Amino acid sequence: MSRTAVVDSHCHLDFPDFDGHVHQIVQNALDAGVERMVTICTRLHNEPKVRAIAEAHAPVFYAIGIHPMSVTEQPPVTVDQLVAYAAHPKMVAIGETGLDYHYTPDSAELQKSSLRVHIDAARETDLPLIIHARDADNDMAAILREGYQNGPFRCVMHCFSSTPELARAALDMGFYLSMSGIATFPKSQEVRDIFAAAPLDHILVETDSPYLAPKPFRGKRNEPAYTVHTAQVGADVFGVDYDTFAAATTANFDRLFSKARM
């Protein structure tokens, strides 16, 4: 008996780890019960490759943004640029964007400026914003609140592994938290506790592949098919069966990523 399908809300199919194997990776996902995937463009010059992957594979959609760790590599993106990209029928979200003070604290001011541009584009297009946050919780919460006060927008905190305070700030604005393979690691009880305290109707699942493979594949190349392993842990965290969790997170995905609804 087949299980309820899930969605990988965040992966990177354009990364070199998947070169020459994307068709098989997508098929692996479908075989595992992962019905859709959102592949994320993190640098504007990669947009043609990311778009081509989505155009070639019906279950794949894409998002465009400048990753906070990449803001010094290219000219700043503009709201108009992001809005123009959003015209494509399979471009379903803005990002990923955000703040990363762990690896790239020196570019903090550029990251903040870029984040604000992405927020404005998400509001203008009514597409969800995809947020990367690491070691920048106070600034992240402040900028998201500031942006929301200027006009509501939709948002997911991707690969959430920050503090309960940032989780609460995001949830208070109606944003979503996305569970990655980190939640399956034995030492991630604090992360699981944060998710357990959140409402199930604001939870997504993702791989962030090729990174962060869940148990039992930790340390290996991750791929969208492994979403099911994180979803099983998610079901355990929320005290529901797999099918209930899969159906709930897929409904959440359809509500947030409405352009990718089947």
CA distance 72 to 35: 35
pLDDT tens for the 262 residues of the chain, in order: 468 999 999 999 999 999 999 999 999 999 999 999 999 999 999 999 999 999 999 999 999 999 999 999 989 999 999 999 999 999 999 999 999 999 999 999 999 999 999 999 999 999 999 999 999 999 999 999 999 999 999 999 999 999 999 999 999 999 999 999 999 999 999 999 999 999 999 999 999 999 999 999 999 999 999 999 999 999 999 999 999 999 999 999 999 999 999 7
Within a domain: 176: yes
Global pTM reads: 0.97
C-beta atoms surrounding 193 within 10 Å: 12
Neighbouring residues of 73: CB distance < 8 A, sequence distance ≥ 6: 43
Q: Of 189, 181, 122, 185, nearest to 154 (Cα)?
A: 122
Q: What is the residue range of 238's domain?
A: 6-260
CATH code for the domain in which residue 197 is found: 3.20.20.140
Within a domain: 120: yes
CA distance 198 to 170: 11
Within a domain: 27: yes
3-state secondary structure of 86: coil
CA distance 13 to 79: 25
Within a domain: 1: no
Within a domain: 38: yes
Within a domain: 89: yes
Within a domain: 44: yes
Number of domains in the chain: 1
